[in-house]
Amino acid sequence: MRQLKTNKMPLSLQVQQHILDLIKDDTFSPGERLPSEAEFSVSLGVSRPTLREAFKSLEQEGVLLRKHGVGTFISSHTPFMESGLEVLESLERQAKRFGIKLEVIDQTVLERPATSEELDRLGLPIDKPIDILSVDRVIAVKGRSVAHLKDVVPLTYLCKKDIDDHFSSSVLDIFLKRDTLSPTISRAEIEAVKAETNEASRLGISEGEALLKLTGQLYNHNKEVVDYSVSYFVPGFFKFHLMRKIPKG
């Protein structure tokens, strides 16, 4: 087992990250039982209270499952990707950074009239219907569905012929390859929701289970919405963070 390399971060946080790294490089597998606290603390060179603090935080995040009198186990739903919300980056690019292979399954790409809600989110008059491109797909890792992504784009920016039957990228990445579209900023809302029937079925989870819902609007340099997206993420596979500035005075 790899040794813990210390730095200036609080020791319990270092232990948390070290355990996540051990999971990511397959030293520990989902469902596997960890060494006892005594053994693990010695191997890491930390105190048992420090290890317990790290365990508690990882248990709250769904990474670990602690069974009283039995031991501590790696959850079958372990987070493998962490992303900051300050910079917009496609799921595919994030996965590449983490060395994760994504599969696009249950995909539908079609041109259709926009709904009233979609027109409103695209900043278009709801009394003047337009056709849009709808890109709807489920993302899986090793056969396990982890996210449901939906994009709605006016046909003036993207149409079905721009996306082949084996589309495995993201709408954002297509935009970034086209200088004429010039996406500049994104507005996002994130909330915890209960999985309704459709989402539960698409993601292979029980109805009512918690999901992270991220709603986004991508703007170009003319402040026009070029993409409206709704993404559902299964907790335990994703972790989002936000860096915030503290005002002076």
At 8 the pLDDT is 62
Q: Are residues 23 and 64 in the same domain?
A: yes
CATH of the domain at 25: 1.10.10.10
- Looking at 55, 74, 93, the residue that finishes a domain is 74
Q: Are residues 99 and 174 in the same domain?
A: yes
Cα distances from 237 to residues 45, 80, 101, 219, 223, in angstroms, run 28, 6, 13, 28, 33
pLDDT at 78 exceeding the cut of 60: no
Residue 247 in domain: no
Q: Which tens digit of pLDDT belongs to each residue from 110-148? A: 999 999 999 999 999 988 889 999 999 999 887 888 899
At 215 the pLDDT is 96
- Looking at 27, 56, 74, the residue that finishes a domain is 74
Q: Are residues 47 and 118 in the same domain?
A: no
Q: Are residues 59 and 86 in the same domain?
A: no
Q: Are residues 57 and 89 in the same domain?
A: no
Q: Are residues 123 and 42 in the same domain?
A: no
Q: For residue 28, give its domain range.
A: 11-74
- Let me know: does 19 contact 51? Beta carbons within 8 Å: no
Cβ-count burial 47-62 (b if 16+ within 10 Å, e if not): eeebbbbbbebbeebb
Q: Are residues 20 and 96 in the same domain?
A: no
Q: Are residues 53 and 89 in the same domain?
A: no
Residue 193 in domain: yes
Cα distances from 1 to residues 174, 204, 239, in angstroms, run 41, 34, 25
Q: Are residues 70 and 125 in the same domain?
A: no
Q: Which of 185, 186, 187, 230 is nearest to 212 (CA)?
A: 230
End-to-end Cα spacing for the chain: 48
Residue 210 in domain: yes
Q: Which of 3-7, 25-29, 217-221 has the lowest mean pLDDT?
A: 3-7
Q: Are residues 93 and 40 in the same domain?
A: no
Domains of the chain: total: 2
CATH of the domain at 181: 3.40.1410.10
Residue 1 in domain: no
Residue 93 in domain: yes
Residue 106 in domain: yes
pLDDT at 79 exceeding the cut of 70: no
Q: Are residues 105 and 67 in the same domain?
A: no
Q: Are residues 146 and 218 in the same domain?
A: yes
- Looking at 20, 50, 74, the residue that finishes a domain is 74
pLDDT at 84 exceeding the cut of 80: no
